[in-house]
Amino acid sequence: MRSASFTLFPGRCLLCGNPSHRALDLCAPCAADLPYLDVACGQCALPLPAPGTCAQCQRHPPPFAVSVVPCRHAFPVDHLIQRLKYGGELAQVAPLAGLLATLLRERPKPLPRALVPVPLHWRRQATRGFNQALEIANQLSRTLAIPVRTDLVRRTRATPPQVGMARTERRRNLARAFVVSAAPVPEHIALIDDVVTTGSTMEALARCLGQAGAARIEVWAISRALLAN
Ligand SMILES: [Zn+2]
Ligand SMILES: [Zn+2]
């Protein structure tokens, strides 16, 4: 189920339908209007009034070193992600991953040695037909020449949605949700997802890869949603 728009009308903006006048799926005015996450916690990407580390990360440092997230989970990025996830519009993958790739180009090197998409439980993946995190990781892999490793970690349990749970409850819910299934794990890994909401999933995944020997773990996602904690 590929989106017809860009396949049939290349050079048209995915958001407004006007000619994009460039080899991108968004026109320049729409791209300039995106809800960029300008100032955020370097570790968890929580929006902050000034650059630094948020109080939560200072109190409980997460098991990952940095988060690289270009946008807030707001219009129109939230709609593009919805169209990808629930509408099966794989045409959204390239422009969304492009936002992340642009931000990564401005960052100091070295790049990670492996991209690990957050695994879906097999049952959910079978229902949806694809894993959006894997689609984004594959696109970034082509752009950045970093291999995607889907063999490193497995989701052992289908976890109910984390939204609405307290922090300790979320952690308990996710404990043993992932197991490392290959060894050795690369030293420097980027975890990939579409949206980071509470960060609990990334924490659980990073913790288990860290215990398996990954020394530096980064979180890469397209958008950061906010949740009252
Ligand atoms: Zn446009
Ligand atoms: Zn933080």
> H or E element: which one contains 135?
helix 132-144
Q: What's the gap in Å between 12 CA and the centre of ligand 2?
A: 37
Question: Residues 129-181: pLDDT tens digits?
Answer: 999 999 999 999 999 999 999 999 998 876 666 667 777 777 777 777 899 99
Phi, psi of 127 (to 5 degrees): -70, -45
CATH for 37-224, among 3.30.420, 1.10.3470, 3.40.1440, 3.40.50? 3.40.50
Q: What's the gap in Å between 115 CA and the centre of ligand 2?
A: 22
Ion ligand 1 neighbours, Cβ < 5 Å: 13, 15-16, 27, 30
Ligand nearest the Cα of residue 18 is 1
42 and 51 Cβ atoms separated by less than 8 Å? yes
> Would you kindly state where each structural domain of the chain is located, as residue ranges?
1-33, 37-224
Q: What's the gap in Å between 44 CA and the centre of ligand 2?
A: 4
Question: Residues 27-84: pLDDT tens digits?
Answer: 888 888 999 998 999 999 999 999 999 999 999 999 999 999 999 999 999 999 999 9
* Residue carrying structure tokens 């040695």: 113
Structure tokens at 135: 């689609």
